[in-house]
Amino acid sequence: MARLLKQINFPSDLRKFKKADLKQISEELREELIEVVSETGGHLGAGLGVIELTVALHYVFNTPKDKLVWDVSHQCYPHKIITGRKNRIRTLRQGGGLSGFTKRTESEYDPFGAAHSSTSISSTLGMAVAKKLSNNNNSVVAVIGDGAMSAGMAYEAMNNAGALKSNLIVILNDNDMSIARPVGAMSNYLAKLLSGKLYFSLRETVKMVISAFSKRFSQKAGKAEDLLRNIVTGGTLFSELGFYYVGPIDGHNVENLVQVFENVKNSNHKGPVLIHIRTQKGKGYEPAESSGDKYHGVSKFNVSTGEQSKSKSSNPSYTKVFAETLIKHAQQDTKIIGITGAMPSGTGLNLFEKKFPDRTFDVGIAEQHAVTFAAGLATEGYKPYAAIYSTFLQRAYDQIVHDVALQSLPVRFAIDRAGLVGADGPTHAGSFDITFLATLPNFIVMAASDEAELVRMINTSVSINDRPSAFRYPRGNGTGAQLPNIDEILEIGKARVIKEGKKVAILNFGARLEECNKASQKLSNKGIECTIVDARFAKPLDEKLIIEIATNHEVLITIEEGSIGGFGSHVMQLLSDRGVFDTGLKFRSMILPDIFIDQDTPQNMYQIAGLDHLSIINKVEETLNSKIILAKNKNKFSN
């Protein structure tokens, strides 16, 4: 049998085939996806579940003129293969390669960049309104998974779309949780019928006829129609939000999908439409189908066996250290609660849940709710731990400020994936949490330099009962440090001196300590002895120690895996307020640069960021050799 996928480089090529060929094309696309991800790693299960959907959408809609937006977009690899990127698909998630998510700068077929959840309906609504204002009749389509429907933003957008009566098509990809149960062939038949021109026209005709009769009859007739449709389709919620509901239908029957999409596209219906499809995550690859997470995110794997390549490190991950330490505390303290936003395995709370199912809460993709939910628990004397990736915590900033910090409630934030994260790229990097948390009154902000320090910070957070606290830690495995017991706590705001030297002091905050030590060793070989300090706290600062080392050294350099406005800025403010700069101190702050760094290996990303040990050495030498220039003429800088 001839390989059809070889003939498809763009959707325009796909549209040249007959509908009868689409099943074979789907099968070939599924095989290609499995081969690709086995070599690159990445998100597999979600992409396998939308193969037929991807083919049908690009077959019916005139992309890129018709806009297609994938929510989260971790399911977009098949989309990339047939939208001009097939020859580069094996560069996924690599330095200089394709992003693992949709990206506007990568292709005109990616009209909106996504990697966070629940943005598709809002963004496509904006596109739909823009097209209406421009008298453009092209279609706008959003594809959103049922998991993303747990976020309030999706309903805010749907409510607005229904009120505006915008011409928008939303496809609800229902794979993990059943919103409404499909009823086989009859359901598919009714979906095609309900999406056709005839039904749309008949529905409007019936409305006009009954409007000529009494209001009472009209109301009864309208209720009868709604009741009948909702018994058949289960679309009550979406209808109430102003959407015309179609479904549920089989998302793996490509010809049925094409028929429904053509009917909706060619109908005269005005207003938003929701098409509910049912799919199977991991569809067509047995190891994925039988896996608990349907191979959501995988490393490189053997296609025949499904066996994934394992980490070479024998050290436990920071995530696992967090989970196991919290479990030990929870065994002694019944007030400890674990909260996650749809990331139980990613944050380690799946381990916590096995021990304490009644004290573990997965609130779905709803970080705003998670934070205020934790605040409510804290008011009743409980000790909630909100375990959330740094990049996802950004969505809940107002709740952190208003519901937690303002009331000084002892919510504990376990901030996973702090710093640069490698293949997931800038959308998942933990770049801003130091800045946006350390600026808040009443907060304690910590960063672990290794897994032993992480344990101490968890221990410390358990005892903080009068204000919120946060501790951040990176993705990946620890350094091999010996873990302390759970009784070992830190003095709040107290740093530790790792090594004493002369002239140069390096003040580290977070997981760059190992690179600081490497730099120090090589500088020592050059006759430059450095003092190394692990700050531990960005707030409160160890003011006494910082002023002491600033006064007794010619050069002071701060290092952190965060953006401008974070730890280094707080140190600079302290030194400025205390007049330390008047002594001629040479101060430098090493932070993440003011750019979004594309996906690569973590090592390469930190080199690009200038936070590796060679960059530290260069910064020390450059600063030592710099001269302090003071203006002799007080009017020198005046206009």
What pLDDT does 2 receive? 62
Domains in the chain, number: 3
* Residue 297 within a domain: no
Q: What is the CATH number of the domain that holds 597?
A: 3.40.50.920
Among residues 504, 53, 438, the alpha carbon closest in space to that of 252 is found at 53
Q: CB of 239 within 8 A of CB of 268?
A: no
- Tell me: do 251 and 325 sit in the same domain: no
Q: How large is the angle between the packed helices 22-40 and 254-266, nearest 10 degrees?
A: 110
A 10 A CB-CB count for 130 gives: 12
What pLDDT does 239 receive? 84
Burial class (CB in 10 A: 0-12, 13-18, 19+), 577: exposed
Q: CB of 486 within 8 A of CB of 536?
A: no
- Tell me: do 15 and 162 sit in the same domain: yes
- Tell me: do 203 and 98 sit in the same domain: yes
* Residue 332 within a domain: yes
- For 237, half-sphere exposure in the C-beta direction (CA atoms, 13 angstrom radius) is 9
What pLDDT does 338 receive? 98
C-alpha angle 256-259-261 in degrees, rounded to nearest 5: 110
Where among 438, 472, 506 does a domain terminate? Answer: 472
- Tell me: do 105 and 236 sit in the same domain: yes
Bridge partners (DSSP) listed for residue 587: 556
DSSP string, 2-62: --SGGG-SSHHHHTTS-GGGHHHHHHHHHHHHHHHHHHH-EE-HHHHHTHHHHHHHHHHS-
Strand segments, DSSP code E, in 431-551 are: 444-447, 469-472, 496-499, 504-509, 530-534, 537-539
Q: What is the CATH number of the domain that holds 376?
A: 3.40.50.970
Please report, for the chain, how many H helices and E strands are present, in that order.
Answer: 26, 19
- Tell me: do 461 and 509 sit in the same domain: no
Burial class (CB in 10 A: 0-12, 13-18, 19+), 523: buried
pTM of the model: 0.87
* Residue 458 within a domain: yes
Token digits for 383?
Answer: 């000790």
Q: Which long-range contacts (CB under 8 A, 24 or more apart) does 16-25 make?
A: 19/59, 19/255, 19/258, 20/255, 22/52, 22/55, 22/56, 22/59, 22/254, 22/255, 22/258, 23/254, 23/255, 25/55
Where among 269, 289, 309 does a domain terminate? Answer: 289
Q: CB of 539 within 8 A of CB of 444?
A: yes
What pLDDT does 103 receive? 95
DSSP string, 213-230: S-HHHHHHHHHHHHHHHH
- Tell me: do 279 and 325 sit in the same domain: no
* Residue 636 within a domain: no
* Residue 632 within a domain: no
Q: Cis peptide leading into 540, omega within 30 of 0?
A: yes
Biggest CA–CA distance in the chain, Å, is 97
Where do the H-state alpha helices sit in 67-196? 77-80, 120-133, 152-164, 184-195
- Tell me: do 419 and 556 sit in the same domain: no
Active-site residue set: 281, 367, 395
Where among 289, 309, 333 does a domain terminate? Answer: 289
Q: CB of 444 within 8 A of CB of 470?
A: yes
- Tell me: do 380 and 423 sit in the same domain: yes
Q: CB of 173 within 8 A of CB of 251?
A: yes
Token digits for 501?
Answer: 């030297």
- Tell me: do 385 and 336 sit in the same domain: yes
Bridge partners (DSSP) listed for residue 362: 340
* Residue 491 within a domain: no
Chain segment 30-82, per-residue pLDDT in tens: 999 999 999 999 999 999 999 999 999 999 999 999 999 999 999 999 999 99
A 10 A CB-CB count for 299 gives: 14
- Tell me: do 351 and 385 sit in the same domain: yes
Pairing mode of beta strands 444-447, 537-539: antiparallel
* Residue 308 within a domain: no
* Inter-CA distances, 164 with 160, 479, 480, Å: 6, 55, 57
Low-confidence stretches of the chain (pLDDT < 70) are 1-2, 176-235, 292-294, 628-639
- Tell me: do 421 and 382 sit in the same domain: yes
- Tell me: do 464 and 358 sit in the same domain: yes
Q: Which residues does 430 contact at the CB level (< 8 Å), separation at least 6? A: 389, 390, 391, 415, 416, 417, 418, 419, 420, 421, 472, 474, 561
Q: CB of 461 within 8 A of CB of 413?
A: no
* Residue 383 within a domain: yes
Which residue range forms the structural domain that includes residue 465?
318-472
AA letter at 632: K
Output b/e per residue, 210-249; b: 16+ Cβ within 10 A: beeeeeeeeeebeeeeeeebbebbbbebbbebbbbbbbbb
Bridge partners (DSSP) listed for residue 607: none
